[in-house]
Structure 1
Amino acid sequence: MSTDFQQARRALGLRLRELRLSAAGGRLTGTRLAQRLGWPHSKVYKLENGQQTATSEDLRAWAEGIGRPEVFAELDARLKGFESHIRSWRRQLAAGHRPVQDRWNLEVGRSQAVRVWEESVVPGMLQTADYARHIFLRYADLHGSVRDTDAAVRARMRRQEWLYETGRKFHALVWEGALHALICPPPVLTSQLDRLAGVIGMDTVELGIVPLSAPLRLPPANGFCLLDDRLVVAEDWHAELWLDDADSVTTYARVWATLRESAVYGADAQKLIGAVRRAVRAR
């Protein structure tokens, strides 16, 4: 979780405490407010101390509970301000994976060049439908989200039409370990590796594989995506970080360029993918 996010959440918590202490009708204790709202007292404590992220519903209830419904707009604006950059999976997946894929399709559609680094899975833009289905199912299990798997797969496959449009360029870097990962059955992974080998040579795709044996100037940390030079999206277990400030974009671009120095391309990438494919089939 980013320092900026933590600071913003703590600032919101301080504002909630300030409002509670100046509630209409007189100062409210945390216990009394919790009773009014039907919450455990620990929830009031965690929100005020920046240990829990409030929802819009929490903020509306707080404003009404202190007798100041008019402050909800201010509180909600604060929340939306820091959540525009930190997009928790809990909130994003409330309606399933399909809406998340639709938002990604819009952002990719606005872009001419996309640079991706993936250390654990094949990039979504290059996934087969069967491979994508297994990925969505694994994350739906993790987050307990709505299983709209088929709709999400269709949306992700539509995004791949971007690869066939003139003037686009998809630059993908993939850690070799991602090619071995049995997040799906071996036959599905074998077909996925065939798909990867098949895009090598496309004029809109540049696929680099970073071999396990390659010397590295940086550790192969979390995956991220750069959309032109305007936006970087980095993924973590709890959330996606959507960062559009120049410093962040520059940092991630430098990371991508550094990792690229360790990648193999063209015939060397084909050879590596083929070796992984044979190893998977032998399992």
Structure 2
Amino acid sequence: MSTDFQKARDALGARLRELRISGPAGRLTGPQLSERLGWPHSKIYKLENGRQTATAEDLSAWAEATGQPATAEELHSRLKGLESHVRSWRRQLAAGHRPVQDAITTEHARTSTLRIWENSLVPGMVQTPDYARAVFTRHAQLMRSPKDTEEAVRVRVRRQEALYDTAKRHRIIMWEGALRSLVCSPQVLAAQLDRLVSMIGLDTVELGIVPFVAPLKIYPANGFWLYDERLAVVEDWHAELWIDDTDSIAVYLRTWNSLRDSAVFGVEAQRVITDAQRSLSAS
């Protein structure tokens, strides 16, 4: 978890503690507040000490219980700032995958050049509906989130219309492992690989594959997406990181360029995809 994120969470906890001890009816102890809220005392401790991130509902309840309901708006604003960079999957997926897809679609619309690196999955921008369906289904199972798979698939596929927009450029690089990961049935993966072959040569898309045997300038770590040079979105198991500071974006851009140097394109990329198709047929 980022240092900046933890500092912001600590600051929010300090503000919550301040509200608890300075209410209009006098100081509340932690046990007294937990009793009012019907929470375990440990939750009060964790929130005030930056050990747990509050929900919007938690903050509204805290403002009411400390006799200061007018502070709820301020607390919600602090929470929004906290989550603008580290967006936990638990919160993002509370209403399913569709809202997450809508949020990223907004960023796509603002972007002229999208650079993508993926090491284990075919990127969403070139996924077939069946492949996307398998990915969403498995992620919802892992996160125990609402299953709105069909809606999320529709939004993702609709976003792919941008691939044919001559005002945009999509520069996509994948590790060869993404071509071989059986995150779906072999039949679905076979169709997905056919789709990738069809992307090669498209004027608005640069599709590169980093083969297993390629010499690497940098190890092929987790995936990330660069929206022009203003935003990097990095996925981890607990959260998405939305990074907008210039220095960090420069690191991701250098990383992307280093990975691109190891990639093959055109006929050579098609050959790597074809090898993956053959291996799939033989298995």
Q: TM-score, normalised by structure 1?
A: 0.97
Once residues 42 and 279 of structure 1 are traced to their aligned partners in structure 2, the CA distance between those partners, rounded to angstroms, is: 53
Q: Match for residue 167 of structure 2?
A: 167
Residue 229 of structure 1, CA deviation: 1.4
Once residues 121 and 71 of structure 2 are traced to their aligned partners in structure 1, the CA distance between those partners, rounded to angstroms, is: 44
Q: Match for residue 29 of structure 1?
A: 29
Secondary structure of residue in 1 paired with 2:225:
strand
Report the AA paired with residue 272 of structure 2.
L
The Cα offsets for residues 125-183 of structure 1, whole Å up to 9 and x where unpaired, read as 01011000000000110111111111111111101100111121100010111111100
Q: Match for residue 250 of structure 1?
A: 250
Residue 197 of structure 1, CA deviation: 1.1
The Cα offsets for residues 16-57 of structure 1, whole Å up to 9 and x where unpaired, read as 112212222222111110000000111111101111110111
- 1:92-107 paired onto structure 2 within 5 Å: 92-107=92-107
Report the AA paired with residue 9 of structure 2.
R
Q: Match for residue 5 of structure 2?
A: 5
How many percent of aligned residue pairs carry the same amino acid?
Answer: 62
Report the AA paired with residue 175 of structure 1.
W
Residue 75 of structure 1, CA deviation: 1.5
Residue 212 of structure 1, CA deviation: 1.3
Q: Match for residue 108 of structure 2?
A: 108
Residue 198 of structure 1, CA deviation: 1.1
Secondary structure of residue in 2 paired with 1:173:
strand
Residue 93 of structure 1, CA deviation: 1.2
The Cα offsets for residues 78-130 of structure 1, whole Å up to 9 and x where unpaired, read as 11112112111111111111121122222111211100000110010010110
Task: Say whether residues 1:192 and 2:214 are aligned partners.
Answer: no
The Cα offsets for residues 196-219 of structure 1, whole Å up to 9 and x where unpaired, read as 111111111101111112222222
- 1:1-283 paired onto structure 2 within 5 Å: 1-283=1-283
Q: Which moved more, 1:98-107 or 1:56-65?
A: 98-107
Once residues 108 and 115 of structure 1 are traced to their aligned partners in structure 2, the CA distance between those partners, rounded to angstroms, is: 11
Q: Which moved more, 1:16-25 or 1:47-56?
A: 16-25
Query: Where does structure 1 lack aligned partners over 5 or more consecutive residues?
Result: none
Once residues 111 and 27 of structure 1 are traced to their aligned partners in structure 2, the CA distance between those partners, rounded to angstroms, is: 50
Q: Which moved more, 1:186-195 or 1:80-89?
A: 80-89
Residue 15 of structure 1, CA deviation: 1.5
Residue 250 of structure 1, CA deviation: 1.3
Residue 61 of structure 1, CA deviation: 0.8
Residue 3 of structure 1, CA deviation: 1.2
Ranges of 4+ aligned residues in structure 1 off by more than 6 Å: none
**How many residue pairs end up in the alignment?**
283
Once residues 9 and 222 of structure 1 are traced to their aligned partners in structure 2, the CA distance between those partners, rounded to angstroms, is: 25
Report the AA paired with residue 207 of structure 2.
L
Once residues 25 and 106 of structure 1 are traced to their aligned partners in structure 2, the CA distance between those partners, rounded to angstroms, is: 45
The Cα offsets for residues 227-256 of structure 1, whole Å up to 9 and x where unpaired, read as 111111111111111122212221111111
Once residues 32 and 167 of structure 1 are traced to their aligned partners in structure 2, the CA distance between those partners, rounded to angstroms, is: 60
Once residues 64 and 121 of structure 1 are traced to their aligned partners in structure 2, the CA distance between those partners, rounded to angstroms, is: 45
Once residues 78 and 167 of structure 1 are traced to their aligned partners in structure 2, the CA distance between those partners, rounded to angstroms, is: 37
**Aligned residues: CA RMSD:** 1.1
Once residues 26 and 106 of structure 1 are traced to their aligned partners in structure 2, the CA distance between those partners, rounded to angstroms, is: 46
Secondary structure of residue in 2 paired with 1:36:
helix
Q: Which moved more, 1:64-73 or 1:110-119?
A: 64-73
Query: Where does structure 2 lack aligned partners over 5 or more consecutive residues?
Result: none
